[in-house]
Amino acid sequence: MQSASATTQPLPTYPPEVHAALLTYLVQLADTSLVLGHRLSEWCGHGPVLEQDLALANIALDLLGETRSLYQYAAELEGEGRTEDDLAFLRPATEYRNPLLVEQPNGDFAATIVRQFLFDNFHYHVLQQLQRYPDERLAAIAGKSVKEAAYHLKWSSEWVIRLGDGTEESRQRIEKALRTLWRYADELTTPTPAEQTIQTAGLLPDYASLLPAMQAHTAHVFAEATLPLPEGVVMQQGGKLGRHSEHLGYLLAELQYMQRTYPGMTW
Amino acid sequence: MLEEVSDPEVPVLSILDLGIVRDVVVEDEHATITITPTYSGCPAMNAIATDIRLRLLAEGFSNVTIHTQLRPAWTTDWMSAAGRQKLEDYGIAPPVDGTATGHMLNLFGADTAVRCPLCKSDNTHLVSQFGSTACKALYQCNDCREPFDYFKCHA
């Protein structure tokens, strides 16, 4: 990844604790899109039909584009000479800040759809708010990505409905995926200390304010899919604080292999 | 001279047709060009920036600066009328204005009526929202059966 060119905006100045928290948050957002984008790219050539293979790769590409904008901003804000590539390729799993949901393996198509739906529903709604928030650069990235996230959410929502209200086989598979993945949903809307700091500083919406729209959408989709909403699930957290499942290490081993083996290589 | 720089993924369109050049400032031999990506992950952006630089250097500018700008986000409203005609002649249906996804939560909503670039029939259907590149969807004509790309309305 080579940056096309410099951007024009001057960097904002914040109090030190807000600056540090914003930096952590930007890396968290970028890690999230990178890890999920990488997972989706693993489908390339293996999708159930050609059109859905293309859809998965398109969504992966959108997420990687968002990742680059976020890492570029984070690298500039950090001001220590690191680049977007350093942030993506040279940090160990314990420094990755993505929520546990997005590092979960693809599983079957139903598992990929459930993971995508849970992420898209949060991603779309948070970007919609962020594009109107006062950090100019983050608002610009959000304003760009929300248009793409809207397509993603429509796609994953329609597939939840098709699979849930489809055949006996598709329904069994999506029910199994929900049993496996629902436990990672709450981490998305549970703020970390860094997120709380920038929420207090007015740079990020309070997640509680997103929940009504997210829940309404989920309720609508699940009703159409004739699926009951999972209840009484014990939630898992930790990825946003650097405590990951074993899956992330394997993912990063593949993602970072080239730069680790041949440092600084380009092509 | 920027009309001679084309989009590498849709070579029939220049970057001016596409509406991704947002600002041009020329001071003596120094040119500053501001461009904006169509989609965040558009892999053509680096190639386009390089092509602009080479074209301007060849024209005698000694110093070329290229800025990328995300805001305001690109919209197909910025695509020129000439660009739309070129797209259709090339076999890609141009964006139908006012059909931006707007509220995407309208699941399984009616497809946008898109004219087949081959036989000009409006009797077509959406195959997939995601096509050969990020900016296009896949359609098929119900009359001549031609599958074709549709340049999505993005606003």
**B85 with B144, same domain?**
yes
Q: Are B128 and A147 within 8 A, CB to CB?
A: no
**B6 with B57, same domain?**
yes
Indicate the residue among B15, B38, B68 that finishes a domain.
B68
Residue B29 maps to a domain: yes
- Supply the CATH number for residue B18's domain: 3.30.300.130
Q: Which residue has 């709450």 as its token pair?
A: A186
**B119 with B97, same domain?**
yes
For A221, the closest chain B residue by CA position comes to B107
DSSP state of A203: S
pLDDT tens figures, A202-261:
999 999 999 999 999 999 999 999 999 999 999 999 999 999 999 999 999 999 999 999
**B55 with B99, same domain?**
no
pLDDT for residue A5: 44
Is the pLDDT at B71 greater than 60? The verdict is yes
User: What is the arithmetic mean of pLDDT over A37-43?
Assistant: 98
- Most B CBs within 10 Å, among A136, A146, A151, to test the B interface: A151
B 4-63 residues with CB < 8 A to A: 34, 37, 39-43, 45-46, 49
Percent of chain A with pLDDT over 90: 94
Structure tokens at B142: 């119900």
CA A164 to chain centre: 24
C-alpha to C-alpha distance for A40 and A63, rounded to whole angstroms: 10
Q: How confident is the model at residue A4 (pLDDT cuts 50, 70, 90)?
A: very low
Q: Look at A2 and B70; give whichever has higher pLDDT.
A: B70
Residue B118 maps to a domain: yes
Largest CA distance in chain A: 56
**B56 with B108, same domain?**
no
**B64 with B85, same domain?**
no
Residue B73 maps to a domain: no
Residue B135 maps to a domain: yes
User: What is the arithmetic mean of pLDDT over A2-15?
Assistant: 67
Asked whether the ipTM of the predicted complex exceeds the cut of 0.90, the reply is: no
Is the pLDDT at B128 greater than 80? The verdict is yes
Q: How confident is the model at residue B100 (pLDDT cuts 50, 70, 90)?
A: low
For residue B81, what are the contacts with CB-CB under 8 A and spacing of at least 6?
none
Residue B92 maps to a domain: yes
Indicate the residue among B68, B97, B120 that finishes a domain.
B68
Structure tokens at A39: 């997972």
pLDDT for residue A110: 98
Structure tokens at A243: 């405590």
Q: Residue B70: which of A2, A144, A158 has the nearest Cβ?
A: A144
User: What is the arithmetic mean of pLDDT over A167-195?
Assistant: 98
- How many angstroms separate the Cα of A96 from the Cα of each of A159, A176, A243? 29, 28, 9
**B13 with B60, same domain?**
yes
**B84 with B60, same domain?**
no
C-alpha to C-alpha distance for B148 and B87, rounded to whole angstroms: 12
**B38 with B13, same domain?**
yes
Break chain A into its structural domains and give their ranges. 16-229+239-261
C-alpha to C-alpha distance for B111 and B129, rounded to whole angstroms: 10
- What is the residue range of B51's domain? 2-68
**B147 with B86, same domain?**
yes
For residue A87, what are the contacts with CB-CB under 8 A and spacing of at least 6?
A27, A30, A71, A74, A75
Residue B87 maps to a domain: yes
Q: What is the DSSP string of A212-263?
A: HHHHHHHHHHHHHTTPPPP-SPPP---GGGT---THHHHHHHHHHHHHHHST
Half-sphere exposure of B123 (CA within 13 A, CB side): 6
Query: Helices A109-130 and A211-224 meet at what angle, rounded to 10?
Result: 150
**CA angle, A165 then A100 then B133, to 5°:** 65
Percent of chain B with pLDDT over 70: 94
Three-class SS state of B11: strand
Indicate the residue among B68, B97, B122 that finishes a domain.
B68
C-alpha to C-alpha distance for A155 and A54, rounded to whole angstroms: 12
How many structural domains compose chain B?
A: 2
Q: According to CATH, what is the number of the domain A16-229+239-261?
A: 1.20.1260.10
Q: How confident is the model at residue A94 (pLDDT cuts 50, 70, 90)?
A: very high
**B59 with B92, same domain?**
no
pLDDT for residue A6: 47
Structure tokens at B153: 């309305």
Residues of A in contact with B134 (CB under 8 A): 58, 61-62, 148
Quick check: B122 contacting A, CB < 8 Å?
no
**B61 with B112, same domain?**
no
Q: Are A64 and B41 within 8 A, CB to CB?
A: yes
Q: Are B67 and A141 within 8 A, CB to CB?
A: no
What is the pTM assigned to this prediction?
0.92
